[in-house]
A and B are shown apart, each in its own frame.
Chain A
Amino acid sequence: MANGEGSEPLLDVRDLTTRFFTEEGQVNAVESVDFTVHDGEVFGVVGESGSGKSVTALSLIDLVEPPGEIVAGEVWYRDADLASEMADSHPEAVDGDAVDLQRVPPEVRRSLRGSSMSMIFQDPMSSFNPSITVGEQIAEAVEVQRRASATPRSTRSRTQGFGLGSMLASTIVPTRDYVGDESHDRAIELLGQVGIPDPEARAEEYPHQYSGGMLQRAMVAQALAGEPDLLIADEPTTALDVTIEAQILNLLADLQEELGMAIVLITHDLGVIARTCDRLGVMYAGEIVEHGSLDDVFDSPVHPYTEGLLGSIPDLDDPAPRLDPIEGNVPSLLAEEMDDRCYFADRCPKAMDECLDKPPTFAVDGDGVAEGANAAEADATGADTAGSNRPGDAPRGDATTHTAKCYLADHAFDEARALPEGYFDESAEGETDR
């Protein structure tokens, strides 16, 4: 890349599409999602249940299991070492320091898990093995990373040097255990780092002896075992009480400052987004419908869905007498039930006839459509995209641009072209709920 490393995104996701081929039919869980994550920033993905935000996270780290499949898209990850390793065997997947993880073999993707990207999940209780102590489980993660980093990537595997014989021997001779003392010590250190009091004693305990908040801390410790550059947090505080949520969010912010990781934070809670994120994408029906900096999206939203979401939350400090909800329900993502239109049009208060054609992604600029959009930021992005030589340079979620998949980003709402009320009631029989 011509640009300096600093301006290159750590992660550049382009046109990512993940589908599930179920008995009921094809489910378009994630559709042409683009976004970038830069070093040390927090990128938020917000949406309602079924909007595809968790599948997006799983797709990044290649954990989508059948019947799901990543059918298209590129996930460019910046890693100079990996790029030089891959340059000979997979030249098409390398662009400067960045590597397209979708075009390298699965073993290479797997080798990045834990050491480059790791993930924390929503429900800490079901993410730990109940029959192994928490310390042992974290030590195991440390051990995997230690063994993996000691050997060249091509031959890396999680059980490196620990075959069936060693496993059988370990049942008799304790010194032949997979996990070494060093890893145990490191596990205790990690537990201390995430704020678990008396980590040495707590490491010997089982998951059921932990409270939900403590277990979520332990899961963060486990995710940090490989010192990742990118942490994917999927609803990390949703299962927690509000006082514990505040602790975990503070912990993530502290760790991020200390370790300089980038975080992709997935949540349905706009408050959590506002607390933690630099930039965000709003997902609806598998697409990122609006994307921009926190200020852009929260203070000058363009997409009626974003506006609707923001209007649906009761304000704690300044309650309104009545909420302004989005009518209707989250749509089904079954391909056969999805028309080729703006997926939000049937719930949208500002649907126009052109919304029956799928809107492209528009850059929201300062020409009066979205008041307050930052023109200076848009310019900076222009320069950024110009330096890129990757395919497909349509307006996309690069750097700090504010974009929306909505015609309202291009021109204002025109009453004369509005769809008549109840337009979708006849065409969609199953959506009679208002």
Chain B
Amino acid sequence: MSERLDGDEAEGEGARPVGSNEPLVTVDGLEKHYYENDSLLDRLLGRDPTAVRAVDGVNFTVERGETLGLVGESGCGKSTTGETLLGLREATAGTVRFDGEPVGELSGDAEKAFRRRAGIVFQDPFSSLDPRQTVGEIIREPIDVHGIDTREERNERVAELLERVGLSAAQRERYPHEFSGGQRQRVGIARALALDPEFIVLDEPVSALDVSVQAQILNLLGDLQAEFDLTYLFIAHDLSVVRHISDRVAVMYLGEIAEIGPVEAIFERPSHPYTEALLESVPRANTAERDRDVEALAGDVPSPRDPPAGCRFHTRCPHAREACREEDPKRFDAGTDHEAACFRAVDDHAYWESAPLDPPEERVQATESDLEEQGERAADGPSA
């Protein structure tokens, strides 16, 4: 198998830069806004389009051979980040560089070459496979599209891929509905591997699976990474899965990165109150859990249509002060390779001098009375 893959690589668009210290992926100021009220009728009526700021200025890098975990709650923009980064959605602003090349400006052969080098595995193994294709055809399709090798070689390749992800080559004539969720996710992974990529975005690859099957897939992903030198961007909401698989972790909240750093630093010494709250909230599967007093975060995630001014987390943050309402914290150093978008990471910041806000429960009472106005109110000032 590895022999074949090496052969492919040699025929590819050029040798990979070996030993380069440049990050494989560099994301700089990435924004993706969706617009509502943006139809022709709305324009004729003079309505202003509303921006849903799904991803709002995200910076990070993915180093070669590492797994960057991107974690956050639903609606925080983590999947949009993954898709925009691959150019599957057009970015509103910002650049993504893959191996030094800006992804947004690629076209023609360069774009085709990029598509071979970067793949994606989707969350839902039920809707991401065409029900009318056999799994053999599904896995072969990318190789067909890129016109690699002869038909026989492609078929042989499909058989190898099936075996590699833990299915049997004899199952190639079956249709997706004949497989269980875990097996379908294996098919999705085989499809992503078909072009021998360097980089794979894994968008919640295990969240639709049962725990016993989830563990199989996590082990498989780990094995494949070691075998084929893959770089992963692993998007998930499950913190224990992220801790298990990641080398570095970025925590997203409302379209921004709240904290980024090495996995131990994020989980052992979190610097951002949101990361702390996430870790606090996860129920642990052990008998000591019963007696753990969990301090749940108050309130809901504000709407990305009109996110709170200042620090986006200040409406729910137990440590919020006046300064958090007025100024959006940049990412500050919180240790080696570890950055947090929180004033608390800076010892001599004006934050420490400003007045604390009411506890979040009271703030939430005031801001949540009307969900529609929640964002605005939070922006004006959260206490009623």
Contacts and interface: CB of A to CB of B under 8 A. Distances in A.
Contacts of A49: 210
B182 A316 contact: no
27 contacts: A48-B211, A198-B368, A242-B239, A242-B278, A242-B282, A247-B296, A247-B297, A249-B294, A268-B211, A275-B283, A275-B289, A275-B290, A275-B292, A312-B212, A312-B214, A312-B215, A313-B285, A314-B215, A314-B241, A316-B239, A319-B243, A319-B244, A324-B215, A325-B219, A326-B215, A329-B182, A432-B171
Interface in A322-361: 322-327, 329-330
Contact of B281 (A243, A314, A330): A243
Interface string A102-120: 0000000000000000000
B51 interface: no
Contacts of A247: 296-298
Contacts of B280: 246
Interface in B162-200: 166-168, 170-171, 180, 182-183, 186
Contact of A433 (B182, B369, B371): B182
B296 A243 contact: yes
Q: Which 10 pairs from chain A and chain B are nearest by CB?
A: A271-B283, A325-B215, A314-B244, A246-B281, A270-B285, A312-B215, A274-B289, A246-B296, A326-B212, A48-B210
Contact of A270 (B211, B216, B300): B211
B286 interface: yes
B322 interface: no
B240 A323 contact: no
B191 to A, nearest CB: 17
Nearest to A332: B180
Interface in B47-90: 73-74
A90 to B, nearest CB: 40
A322 B297 CA distance: 31
Interface of B: 73-74, 166-168, 170-171, 180, 182-183, 186, 210-216, 218-219, 222, 237, 239-241, 243-244, 267, 277-287, 289-290, 292, 294, 296-298, 300-301, 364-365, 368-372
Given A197-B369, A209-B371, A326-B215, 6 more contacts: A48-B211, A198-B369, A205-B371, A314-B215, A316-B267, A325-B218
B74 A268 contact: no
A162 interface: no
Contacts of B285: 269-271, 273-274, 298, 310, 313, 315
Interface stretch (A10-18, A26-34, A146-154, A210-218): A210-218
Contacts of B166: 433-434
A330 B210 contact: yes
Contacts of A201: 369-370
Main secondary structure of the interface of B (DSSP, over half): helix
B368 A210 contact: no
B371 A210 contact: yes
Nearest to A313: B285
Interface residues on A, range: 35 or more
A272 interface: yes
Contacts of B218: 314, 323, 325
A271 B287 contact: no
Contact of A271 (B183, B212, B284, B364): B284
Interface string A256-274: 0000000000001111111
A271 B240 CA distance: 11
A330 B219 CA distance: 18
A245 B281 contact: yes
A309 to B, nearest CB: 6
Contacts of A330: 180, 210, 212-213
A408 to B, nearest CB: 18
B296 A250 contact: yes
Given A323-B244, A325-B219, A309 B282 contact: no
A294 interface: yes
A85 interface: no
Contact of A244 (B171, B240, B279, B300): B300
Given A243-B297, A298-B287, A323 B370 contact: no
A309 B212 CA distance: 6
Nearest to B300: A211
A299 interface: yes
